[in-house]
Amino acid sequence: MAPEPLDLPSAVESSTARLVSSYAEAEQRLIAGSAVLIAEYLNGGSVQDGMVLQQALRLVARRIASGLTGQAGGLARDVALEAARVGNLAAIREVTDALRDYPRVREVYTRNAGATTPHGLRAAAHIAADLTDRLNATHYRITRFADDAYRAATATAGIGQVTGGTPQLAQREAWRKLTENGVTGFRDAAGREWELSAYVEMAARTTAIRAFNASHQDRMTALGIRYWTVGPTGFPCTFCLPWEGAILGTATGTFTEPHAVEDGTVAVKVDGTLEQARAEGFQHPNCKHTLIAYFPGVTTLKTRTPEEVAEATERFKETQRLRGMERAARRAKLAEQAALTDTDKALARRRARELQARIRDYTAETGLNRRPRREQLNLANK
């Protein structure tokens, strides 16, 4: 038999929530604090001089970036070490469950199981350092936001004349366009563009998954596991679906191995290496798939029927549509915070409510679980 795969995102939720929350709140403070200064400038308040406005915007951004710099390393370490701990425990649990009916063999495999392996801890420290570097790189973009905000606030009168409106309307429109997706300009290794909060959440989850998998695999290797399989999990994407039910190892081919619990041997057909699977997208950011120990002659491979594959593929598309609506609802709430006038605030608030109503209808129609946290400005809220 094969144990049920661990719901990895749930297992690492507590370790990523604090980091994501810190950056989501910082993004809100940056936009809301800048909006107050710009609104005062446009309304002829005490901040009337453009240079004074620019310096005030830069001060807000620098303070926020500085605060994040002081937290980044500690938060990154917490994420990686907690994920490594969970990965180690998951490996022991899976081996214990798989060999539940074979106590003597189970004892052989698990007698040396204990705390996270030294290699797993070193890997977690390295992965945490990588996340810290990625987080610190975002701080430069945060400080740059001040100059972008200043340019939006001082959009030329000519823009207003061309659009048939006033300079104030042009400035409001420039500010709206700047902030409609939050703080942007973040690019991942695949060239995809992200907004700050989404980028940090993606980076944190990627880190947690990497640390979990490194610790999980290292513990299994230490227990003597040489082969792994991938169980059906959730609604997989096209990268991961082909690997469900496959056997992975360090080399491909058919190998003769001792039966895990009986005398004799069995043939093990390895479909791919771990490196090959990951190079083709398996265990991508936010992926729920984990490796499951494969015991020759004991483990039953789990696969989906063609009908189940078709259903899972359609459900994956539905979840992606839902993710898009959740991001849109969050952007509308951010637009409310960024609004320079009461009218703009009311329009953004109405847009957010309309989107949330669409999400309620869509989840009722599809049966997908609604996760209101994903619609909130604070992504750590539950």
What integer pLDDT is reported at residue 360 of this predicted model? 94
Closest by CA position to 95, among listed 227, 262, 296, 293:
293
User: Which residue type, as a one-letter code, is found at position 234?
Assistant: G
Residue with tokens 């695999």: 217
Taking the CA atoms of the chain, what radius of gyration do you get in angstroms?
25
Please tell me the distance from the alpha carbon of residue 167 to that of residue 169, in angstroms, as a whole number: 5
Residue 85 burial (CB count, 10 A): 20
* Residue 144 structure tokens: 């740059």
Can you give the residue ranges of every domain in the chain? 7-223, 226-303, 305-382
- The reply to whether the predicted model has a pTM over 0.85 is no
Integer CA distances (angstroms), 260 to 1, 4, 29, 77, 216, in order: 12, 20, 57, 37, 20
Please tell me the distance from the alpha carbon of residue 285 to that of residue 20, in angstroms, as a whole number: 15
Residues 160/168, Cβ–Cβ less than 8 Å:
yes
Closest by CA position to 228, among listed 303, 301, 292, 279:
292
**pLDDT tens series, the chain, 382 aa:** 555 555 555 666 777 888 988 998 999 899 999 999 988 888 776 656 778 889 999 999 999 999 999 999 999 999 999 999 888 888 888 888 888 888 888 887 777 666 777 888 899 999 999 999 999 999 999 999 999 999 888 875 445 445 556 777 777 888 888 888 788 878 777 777 888 888 898 899 889 888 988 898 888 888 888 899 988 877 777 888 889 899 999 899 999 999 988 899 999 999 999 899 989 888 877 677 888 889 999 888 888 888 888 888 888 889 889 989 998 898 888 888 888 888 888 998 999 999 999 999 999 999 988 888 778 776 554 4
Q: Mark 187-223 as b/e (b = at least 16 C-beta within 10 Å).
A: eeeeeeebbbbbbbbbbbbbbbbbbbbbbbbbbbebb
Please tell me the distance from the alpha carbon of residue 162 to that of residue 27, in angstroms, as a whole number: 32
Q: End-to-end distance of the chain based on CA atoms, in angstroms?
A: 35
What integer pLDDT is reported at residue 10 of this predicted model? 64
